[in-house]
């Protein structure tokens, strides 16, 4: 594939699903699935950077995931901290900026510290934006946006008649970012699971049966080729 192809998506979002099933198939603890999933995260970030994707948004932990068993939540938090620490140098060397979207304030202190440190360190990087969705839920994001806009209306900063799509987009976590061009979901489930509901209005969707720990660079490149043949009409003819 032509890596500098302008018909590649600028913004790719991924619902990384199937870690648990991957582990179950091998009679392993679910946490082993998340560990292997974290390796896939590294591979796909590297691949996106090589190909020249501008924004990669990964659904790493949802607001609903807090309801998982405590040990699983703790293991995911540990994986995240380890990932942030181990990837810092690679993010810097590869000019990747890290950003987090979601209710970051709900994360444990050590995760928040590692996140803030990595975000500050990579703040000036402009080769690619890596967006980690953490404690993220699209409905919670929309509720937060509505409160934000309502306060501005109450304070007379915004006239309700002049509320536009742009005003709404600017009150979301993804402020200033183009909407995803392509959303990939692994492990075959046909649902959106409360991910980027506003932002994916015209996003192309690709669902693969592959479980996230088995997802590869080769498959990612195949999906990009498939995307290049899509006719995006944005509701027009």
Q: Which residues are catalytic?
A: 17, 65
131 to 150, contacts with ligand FPP by CB under 6 A? 132
24 to 83, contacts with ligand FPP by CB under 6 A? 34, 37-38, 41, 58, 60, 65, 79-80, 83
Token pair 């202190």: residue: 109
Token pair, residue 147, equals: 């409160």
Of 206 and 212, which has the nearer Cβ to ligand FPP? 212
Spatial strand order of the sheet with 182-185 comes to 96-101, 128-136, 55-62, 11-15, 182-185, 204-207
189 to 218, contacts with ligand FPP by CB under 6 A? 212
How far is the C-alpha of 34 from the C-alpha of 47, rounded, in Å? 20
Calculated CA dihedral for residues 117, 173, 78, 192, nearest 10 degrees:
-160
CA-closest candidate to residue 222, choices 231, 232, 210? 210
* Residue in 8, 12, 14, 18 binding ligand FPP, rule: CB under 6 A: 18
Q: For 69, phi and psi rounded to 5 degrees?
A: -55, 145
Of 80 and 107, which has the nearer Cβ to ligand FPP? 80
Of 20 and 149, which has the nearer Cβ to ligand FPP? 20
Number of residues that bind ligand FPP (CB under 6 A): 19
Residues that bind ligand FPP (CB under 6 A): 16-21, 34, 37-38, 41, 58, 60, 65, 79-80, 83, 132, 187, 212
């Amino acid at each position: 594939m032509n890596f500098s192809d302008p018909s590649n998506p600028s913004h790719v979002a991924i619902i990384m699903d199937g870690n648990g099933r991957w582990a179950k198939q091998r009679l392993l603890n679910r946490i082993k699935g998340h560990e292997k999933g974290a390796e896939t995260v590294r591979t796909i970030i590297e691949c996106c950077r090589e190909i020249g994707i501008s924004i990669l948004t990964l659904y790493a932990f949802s607001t609903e995931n807090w309801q998982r068993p405590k040990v699983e939540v703790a293991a995911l938090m540990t994986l995240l901290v380890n990932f942030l620490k181990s990837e810092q140098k690679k993010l810097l060397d590869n000019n990747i900026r890290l950003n987090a979207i979601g209710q970051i304030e709900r994360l444990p202190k050590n995760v928040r510290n590692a996140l803030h440190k990595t975000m500050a360190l990579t703040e000036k990087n402009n080769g690619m934006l890596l967006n980690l969705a953490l404690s993220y839920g699209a409905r919670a994001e929309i509720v937060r946006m509505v409160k934000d806009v309502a306060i501005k209306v109450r304070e007379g900063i915004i006239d309700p008649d002049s509320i536009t799509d742009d005003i709404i987009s600017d009150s979301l976590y993804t402020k200033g970012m183009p909407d995803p061009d392509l959303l990939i979901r692994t492990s075959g489930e046909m649902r959106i699971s409360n991910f980027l509901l506003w932002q994916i209005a015209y996003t192309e969707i690709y669902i693969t049966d592959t479980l996230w720990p088995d997802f590869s660079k080769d498959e990612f490149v195949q999906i990009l080729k498939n995307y290049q043949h899509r006719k995006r009409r944005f509701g027009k003819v």
